[in-house]
Structure 1
Amino acid sequence: MSIQSNLQHIKSSLPENVTLVAVSKTKPVSDLMEAYDAGQRIFGENKVQEMTEKWQQMPKDIQWHMIGHVQSNKVKYMVPYVKLIHGVDSFKLLKEINRQAKRYRKNINCLLQISIAEEETKFGLNEEELNEILNSEEFKTFENVKIVGLMGMATFTDNQEQIRKEFLHLKEIFDKYKEFSAFNFQLSTLSMGMSGDYQLAIECGSTMVRIGSSIFGGR
């Protein structure tokens, strides 16, 4: 099947309230343009340099999402154009995003990455660290970032019940913190689910899915 057919097939299966991020990391611009020509406007990359090169070459109505682990020293390169940073997993990183956004007189939307998987290899904040950020006096002064949602990655396993349990745990945290509202913290997006588990993620309340191989084929 072509990229266009894959996209149409996936989009037809998504509820209206779920946003599709086409994960285009390592794929050539020609593949991304095929998806673009089929109507896709939101692309997710996991390396700042690769995303910047693609942004320079491609139409400017694309929303670029940074979905990978972000190093603080790379933030400045994407601030001019990035639409959403998914994996904000430390206060230090959030502080740097705010600092660079201020420099460019921009406001950057972010998702806080919450650790829900049993694997040690996954990044993310636990609930205690999330609380620390929200109750920090310094966070209350951040005028150039806005936390618009939470993101999480389930354990890489075939055990559907374990994945379901992890997704539901994140949904529980999301619902709990939805009550917390500040000028720079208003949760509306719950990003969970990838090619292998996005349907289960949607059942558990996801409003944004990150799909790569089911659109572009394997890497």
Structure 2
Amino acid sequence: MAAPAMETASATALRSVLSRVHMAAERAGRSPEQVRVVAVSKTKSANVIQQVYNAGHRVFGENYVQELTEKAPQLPSDIQWHFIGNLQSNKVKALLGGVPNLHMVESVDDKKIANHLDRAVVSLGRNPLKILVQVNTSGEESKHGVEPSQCVELVEHVRMSCPNLIFSGLMTIGMLDYSSTPENFNTLRKCRTELCDALGIPEDQCELSMGMSADFEQAIQMGSTNVRIGSIIFGPREYPKKNQ
């Protein structure tokens, strides 16, 4: 009897999040339609995701290839899946082959992974794939992402050498304790300004994926077009318990 209550709670939480996104966008003088909500469903069952889908949501995010390739076939094909975790080159074909409705990879952080994605799109006969370039805005060694100073070079490589990828913008995770959120968001905005100037890209054609459960309203205020929200929609992550 516990599962339906959890699913109902997730659908209710989604509506609350969408309302907060709407209000944050309006406070920033932006249209709410300019902000995409990615419901990050890692560790959650397909049944729980289905409940949020039934509430009208269509954009979901996952961090791990195996988890996503197991869930996607169990769920409706019109879901737009975002892969937001670190992607290893040896798992690219499994991801693209196992998730036909993969909409975007948000975590491209070097030329090697871009090249692997580009080749996999061709070999699997897929339509061009949208990608975001992940930027390490906090300077933490534990974080993935290209250094801000190398952002233009990587984006130029994607645009010039990976014809089967569609460069759509930039992504950052920020610091886990949210202690320098404004600085991280400002760094990503500066990266966008620099690369758009350098490569002649209109800024409104370069998305900013920044903001998670604890800071998405501030991220929207600072220009985010894509917020990744997990725990306040789905509740705490549910990792398997280790054997005692």
TM exceeds 0.5?
Answer: yes
CA gap 1:217/1:120 in 2 versus in 1, 3 angstroms? same
Q: How many residues align?
A: 213
- Preserved contact between residue 178 and residue 187 of structure 1 (Cα < 8 Å): no
Matched, 1:214 2:221: no
- Preserved contact between residue 195 and residue 213 of structure 1 (Cα < 8 Å): yes
- Preserved contact between residue 81 and residue 104 of structure 2 (Cα < 8 Å): yes
Runs of 4+ in structure 1 off by over 4 angstroms are none
- Preserved contact between residue 155 and residue 167 of structure 2 (Cα < 8 Å): no
Other structure's SS at 2:43 match:
coil
Q: How does 1:139-218 map to 2 (within 5 A)?
A: 140-159=160-179, 162-179=180-197, 180-181=199-200, 187-218=205-236
* Shift of residue 158, structure 1, vs aligned partner: 4.8
User: In the alignment, which residue of structure 2 is the partner of 1:34?
Assistant: 51
Matched, 1:113 2:147: no
User: In the alignment, which residue of structure 2 is the partner of 1:12?
Assistant: 19
Q: How does 1:51-70 map to 2 (within 5 A)?
A: 51-70=68-87
d(CA) in 1 for partners of 2:96, 2:131 = 12
Q: What amino acid is aligned across from residue 95 of structure 1 in structure 2?
A: N
Please tell me the root mean square deviation across aligned C-alpha atoms, in Å.
1.8
CA gap 1:135/1:35 in 2 versus in 1, 3 angstroms? closer
* Shift of residue 30, structure 1, vs aligned partner: 1.1
* Shift of residue 128, structure 1, vs aligned partner: 3.3
Other structure's SS at 2:217 match:
helix
- Preserved contact between residue 23 and residue 211 of structure 1 (Cα < 8 Å): yes
d(CA) in 2 for partners of 1:176, 1:139 = 16
CA gap 1:103/1:140 in 2 versus in 1, 3 angstroms? same
- Post-superposition CA distance 1:57-95 (Å, at most 9, x none): 111110011010000111101224211001101110000
d(CA) in 2 for partners of 1:83, 1:164 = 28
In terms of fraction of residues, the more helix-rich structure is 2
* Shift of residue 12, structure 1, vs aligned partner: 1.1
Larger Rg: 1 or 2? Answer: 2
Q: What amino acid is aligned across from residue 189 of structure 2 in structure 1?
A: K
* Shift of residue 129, structure 1, vs aligned partner: 2.5
Q: How does 1:81-100 map to 2 (within 5 A)?
A: 81=100, 82-100=102-120
Q: What amino acid is aligned across from residue 35 of structure 2 in structure 1?
A: V
Unaligned regions of 5+ residues in structure 2, if any? 1-7, 26-31, 238-244
CA gap 1:2/1:94 in 2 versus in 1, 3 angstroms? same
Identity of aligned residues (%): 36
User: In the alignment, which residue of structure 1 is the partner of 2:28?
Assistant: none
CA gap 1:103/1:124 in 2 versus in 1, 3 angstroms? same
User: In the alignment, which residue of structure 1 is the partner of 2:4?
Assistant: none
